[in-house]
Amino acid sequence: MKETGSEDKYLEWLDRGLSKVPKTESRDRLNVPSVECISEKNKTIVQNLNQIAGLLNRDVKHLLKYMTLRLAAPYSEIGEGSYVFKGRILPKQLDTVIADYIKAYVECPVCKRPDTKLSREKRGIVQLVCLSCGAVSPVKSL
């Protein structure tokens, strides 16, 4: 009899190793979609902010506040999860603002993971609490 068992075992081991790789991506990093927007002459309608805020596990109002400050453009809600910002804002600008928001208010500055939450604002102090490594980092209050 020829020895083929070892190869079978190897393949079995390989299989097992592969099946250990999680199917759903772990939250080592976020897959945030691009901002969907319609830029008009003097207004910009943004359609998927609720979805983005949901992915980031943040209140959309907090995200909107940040965007308003960064873009220096007031917004209003127009229903069905759409928001309109004053002025013509390019999609690229919006994506940059979202990326900056993630860096400032979502990503843990210690381990860089996005599984974090913001503590309640107390006397203007907000803390970013990391659920992965436990680090507590102060962030700017909005």
DSSP secondary structure, 34-93, as one string: PPPEEE-SSEEEE--HHHHHHHHTS-HHHHHHHHHHHHT--EEEEETTEEEEES---HHH
Q: Is 108 in the site for Zn ion (CB under 5 A)?
A: yes
Number of residues lying near Zn ion (CB under 5 A): 7
136 by DSSP, 3-state: which?
strand
**The pair of three-digit structure tokens given for residue 24, joined into one six-digit string:** 């759903």
Question: Closest distance between Zn ion and the C-beta of residue 31, in Å?
Answer: 19
Question: Closest distance between Zn ion and the C-beta of residue 130, in Å?
Answer: 3
Nearer to Zn ion, 78 or 133 (CB): 133
**The pair of three-digit structure tokens given for residue 35, joined into one six-digit string:** 């901002």
Q: Is 132 in the site for Zn ion (CB under 5 A)?
A: yes
Q: Which of 38, 90, 99, 133 binds Zn ion (CB under 5 A)?
A: 133
The binding site for Zn ion (CB under 5 A) comprises 108, 110-111, 130, 132-133, 135
